Amino acid sequence: MSSGGRFNFDDGGSYCGGWEDGKAHGHGICTGPKGQGEYSGSWSHGFEVLGVYTWPSGNTYQGTWAQGKRHGIGMESKGKWVYKGEADGCSFSATNAPSEGLRSLRTLQPLQR
């Protein structure tokens, strides 16, 4: 059964959105501790699927995810630069663009009820 709500993590991060079986599911927004980034988009059983990750610098990645990593078609914006292509984990095959440190927000989700 799906439901929704807000969960505040001990480290200052939060998740607000859909839930299923104690995990993020549906649409939701997850913020990292102390403003370390934000993911907004679709979730499936605790993992990011399709959405936008915004770093504290304002840089963004918009695209698909698999198992907590950027994977598939996406676009990364860094200042005036925009990189489009296929992401595999943490890099783009279409560019040699360096990536900021990105860890899956799923590690912030001990969503046990």
pTM assigned to the model: 0.76
Which tens digit of pLDDT belongs to each residue from 51-82? 999 999 999 999 999 888 888 889 988 888 88
Check whether 23 has a pLDDT greater than 80: yes
pLDDT at position 91: 58
How far apart CA 79 and CA 55 sit, in angstroms, is 12
pLDDT at position 24: 92
Q: How confident is the model at residue 2 (pLDDT cuts 50, 70, 90)?
A: low
The CATH classification of domain 2-97, taken from the options 2.60.120, 2.20.110, 2.40.50, 3.30.160: 2.20.110
Within 13 Å of residue 66, how many CA atoms lie on the same side as its CB?
9
How far apart CA 41 and CA 93 sit, in angstroms, is 23
